[in-house]
Chain A
Amino acid sequence: MKALRKADVILFGALLVLSGLLLWLLHWYHAGTEVKYLVVTVEEEEVARIPLTEEGTYGIRIEDTGVVVEKYSAEESYQNVFVLEDGTVRMSEAACPDLLCVKKGIVQELGIPIVCLPHGVVLLLQ
């Protein structure tokens, strides 16, 4: 009697591996310890949450009507400009006198902020 063929064993094996992989992936995705987002807050209010996968240069425009965080455009003027790449963030430009946030350089750690005090802007990896 030949209830199980080689192909069946391979199928079962593949099923097992696949489901294990799925579980692991789900777990990894939901686990809280990995940095996944860049959170932009202005005056203690969260104004943007950008996945680290969406790399690029972004501008922060603070207007009376609200705060706009968008992909950088040379035609616009911004209070702060930051670059998101390789899981790191840095402030590349700031329209303030001290430029402390630009001097701060690259940050890639969870919970370590880049602060622009004059504009009340905080970039935080979460």
Chain B
Amino acid sequence: MKPETKKRLVILGAVIGCVLLGVIIFYPRSYAKTFYKTGYCCDTVISLTIVGEDEAECRRILEEAYQMCLAFEADVLDRFSAESEVGRMNLQQSRLLDTGVASQKETYQISATLQALLEAGVHYGKLTQGAFDITIAPYSDLWNVTEEDFKVPSSSQIETVRSLVDIASVEISEGNVSLISRQQLDFGGLAKGFLCQKLYEFFKAEGVTKAVINFGGNVCIMGEGRVGIENPFGKDNIKTVELEQGYVSTAGIYERGVEVEGVWYHHIIDPRTGSPATGDVVSATVVTQEANAGMLADIISTTCVVLGREAALEFLDELWRQEPKLEQVILVLQDQSVVVWEPEGV
């Protein structure tokens, strides 16, 4: 062999060796994969997606997250179960005789979780001047909003319970809540957003860096993600929101409802009238990147539908002055136009 050829072979060998070494060094030991879990909670479908490397660990986190939601519903929120805190309280309230005296109040002991929910409910109830109201339960029952067989009550039925739907009368003190006799609570307007936020906190504590939580119309994004906003009038998307982290919550009157004698009744009841909201907003999507605004996003999306465009835009400006948390609110109107609210000066 010529020395020249030998030299070339050595160099070739060295280069191949270097490349191999490089591949071995840079070849990742494990890869991030996507894991998911679907299930039912609070009358809606939830889907949890997380990205991680350790399969067993990811599956454990997903299972625990799901069980946390179920436990929360069963122990605190489920208003149709005598086992839950809210259910028990509502049952006791329903057994009371109507005293007809508004000042007559019943006091109940409450857990720290329920206290937090009640405080949020009362706070936003007052802020929205009753357009969002957790004492809406009698109306929810009359219209049977959570069930498949939606009912249309008579106006006298609505009149009978009107005095009970009054967030201003709810009093909270440390560990206690006082309600008017027969008044009942329904956290359907904020529970999904609250749980989205709880899931976010749980994932964060578990060290998850990328996740997508879908809880009914409430989406929570961790570590960059996209959410398409549905067009209520077609099958395309109105736009796609991209965010680093945060919540995208949509409420709409186009999904659930029933047509009775030519009139379309939907499931978002205006607590101020006791009937489905009559505003011009067909769907409202709230976008926020604040980690603690999941519940707020849920509340405000529903509130915007109840208020209608003009009042909603005014309210959003006022809310921004008090709590600058929302980044964007997208309203789709009856005439198919789209109005986007963004905070002033941002």
Contact = CB atoms under 8 A, between A and B. Distances in A.
A79 interface: no
A19 B31 contact: no
A124 interface: yes
B31 A122 contact: no
B216 to A, nearest CB: 9
B19 A30 contact: no
Interface stretch (B8-16, B109-117, B120-128, B186-194): B8-16
A59 interface: no
A109 B255 contact: no
A16 to B, nearest CB: 6
B31 A107 contact: no
Given A1-B4, A32-B33, A106 B235 contact: yes
B320 interface: no
A110 B225 contact: yes
Interface string B215-255: 00001000001111011001111001000000000000011
Given A19-B19, A111-B225, A124 B38 contact: yes
B22 interface: yes
Interface in A17-35: 19, 22-23, 26-27, 30-33
Given A103-B254, A106-B228, A113 B47 contact: yes
Interface string A28-58: 0011110000010100100000000000000
A33 B51 contact: yes
Contact of A106 (B38, B45, B236): B236
Contacts of A31: 31-32
B324 interface: no
A60 to B, nearest CB: 15
Contacts of A27: 28, 31
A41 B12 CA distance: 53
A26 B27 contact: yes
Contacts of B346: none
Contact of B49 (A22, A115, A124): A124
Contacts of B228: 106-109, 112
B49 A126 contact: yes
B31 A23 contact: no
Interface residues of A, number: 42
B339 to A, nearest CB: 20
A124 B32 contact: no
A70 B226 CA distance: 29
Contacts of B212: 109-112
A105 B234 contact: yes
A22 B49 CA distance: 29
Nearest to B242: A109
Contacts of B107: none
A124 B36 contact: yes
Contacts of A12: 12, 15
A15 B236 contact: no
B47 A124 contact: yes
B153 interface: no
Interface string A82-126: 000000001000000010101111111111110101000010101
A10 interface: no
Nearest to B7: A3
30 contacts: A8-B8, A8-B12, A11-B12, A12-B15, A23-B26, A26-B27, A30-B28, A30-B33, A31-B31, A32-B34, A32-B52, A33-B210, A39-B36, A44-B40, A104-B235, A105-B230, A105-B235, A106-B236, A106-B237, A107-B228, A109-B226, A109-B240, A110-B225, A111-B214, A111-B225, A112-B227, A112-B228, A113-B214, A124-B38, A124-B47
Given A26-B27, A103-B255, A112-B214, 17 more contacts: A3-B4, A8-B8, A11-B12, A12-B15, A15-B16, A19-B19, A31-B31, A103-B254, A105-B231, A105-B234, A106-B228, A109-B225, A109-B227, A110-B49, A112-B212, A112-B219, A124-B36
Interface of B: 4, 7-8, 11-12, 15-16, 19, 22-23, 26-28, 31-34, 36, 38-40, 45, 47-49, 51-52, 210-214, 219, 225-228, 230-231, 234-237, 240, 254-256
